[in-house]
Amino acid sequence: MHRSYQPFNPVTSRYLQQRWDQSHYDRHCKKVRCALPVVDTRRQPTPAHIQHKLKKMQMELERLFSIERDNHLLASRLFNIDCSKGLVDHRNQYQPRSLNGSKRKQELALISHQNQAIYQRIISCRSEYCHHGLLADWERTERILENISRYPKELVTKRVSPCNMLFHNDGCERRQEASDWSNLHPLYTMHISCLVPYQLVLFV
């Protein structure tokens, strides 16, 4: 029974299902053998945004609207001139003036002067962080990491060769075979299949 045909779905007759599947597979193979390569040499359809330049159409409509508005204003002026019967316009065209214009200018000048003073204070102040102190703290942290690390950094950096394992050390990619790590110490006889370095962060 185990050597009989095993269909994917439960069927009534395995023998018939096998013959049907085989015939379907033969038809598929025949179609694959008779398939001919066809290269589509037709040009690509032109995109709609190239056929219809919407920006150009919008600019043309705006230009027509401005021309129509100017023509309407000119026609209204000609109509007013025609209806005035030669009267002379001798009115004094008074331009409106602001009552507190000088006051606002003084306030603007005062604000500009204060901003300049604040800017000078900002650029003249010195930083409160000590660069040398931060550097010394980092060196002390490095020494602590070297003391508590499981493997010395010298052994890791010396045994570098092309290989099967990938390590990330200081932004560089290094490869090392797993068999080399078993020779670091005579008592270290375990086969290392995967060794991933980790980073220890101390908060002092």
- Residue 112 confidence (pLDDT): 96
Closest CA to 141 of 200, 64, 69: 200
Closest CA to 20 of 157, 142, 12: 12
Query: Looking at the predicted structure, is the pLDDT value of residue 196 above 70?
Result: no
Which residues are paired to 168 by β-bridges? 173
List the one residue out of 143, 163, 139 whose CA is nearest residue 153.
Answer: 143
Q: What is the tens place of the pLDDT at every residue in 49-104?
A: 888 888 899 999 999 999 999 999 999 998 888 887 666 666 777 778 888 888 99
pLDDT for res 87:
64
Q: Taking a C-beta distance cutoff of 8 angstroms, is the pair 161, 145 a contact?
A: no
Q: Report the pLDDT averaged over residues 32-57.
A: 85
Percent of residues, the chain, with pLDDT higher than 90: 32
Sequence-separated (6 or more) residues with CB below 8 Å from residue 159: 176, 180, 181, 184
Provide the 8-state DSSP code for 151: S
Q: Are 173 and 143 in contact (CB under 8 A)?
A: no
| Cα gap 174→168, rounded to integer Å | 6
Predicted local distance difference test score (pLDDT) of residue 168? 44
Give the per-residue pLDDT at 48: 81
Dist. CA 25–CA 36, nearest whole Å: 19
Instruction: For residue 25, give Cα distances in angstroms to 6, 13, 28, 29, 32.
Output: 16, 18, 5, 6, 11
**Beta strand ranges found along the chain (DSSP E):** 166-169, 172-175
Q: Is the pLDDT of residue 172 over 50?
A: no
Q: Tell me what the mean pLDDT of segment 108-134 comes to.
A: 90
Q: What is the per-residue pLDDT for 173?
A: 42
Q: Where are the domains of the chain?
A: 1-32, 151-204
**What pLDDT, on the 0 to 100 scale, is given for residue 96?**
80
The string of pLDDT tens digits covering residues 130-169 is: 888 889 999 999 999 888 887 777 655 555 444 444 444 4
Distances (CA, A) of 148 to 136, 141, 151: 19, 11, 9
Distance between CA atoms of residues 122 and 144, nearest Å:
38
Rounded to two decimals, the pTM is: 0.24
> 189 pLDDT exceeds 50?
no
pLDDT of residue 101: 86
The proportion of the chain whose per-residue pLDDT surpasses 70, expressed as a percent, equals 70
What is the per-residue pLDDT for 38?
Answer: 83
Mean pLDDT of the chain: 77
177 band by pLDDT with thresholds 50, 70 and 90: very low
Q: Which residues pair with residue 169 across a beta bridge?
A: 172
Which pLDDT score is estimated for 203? 46
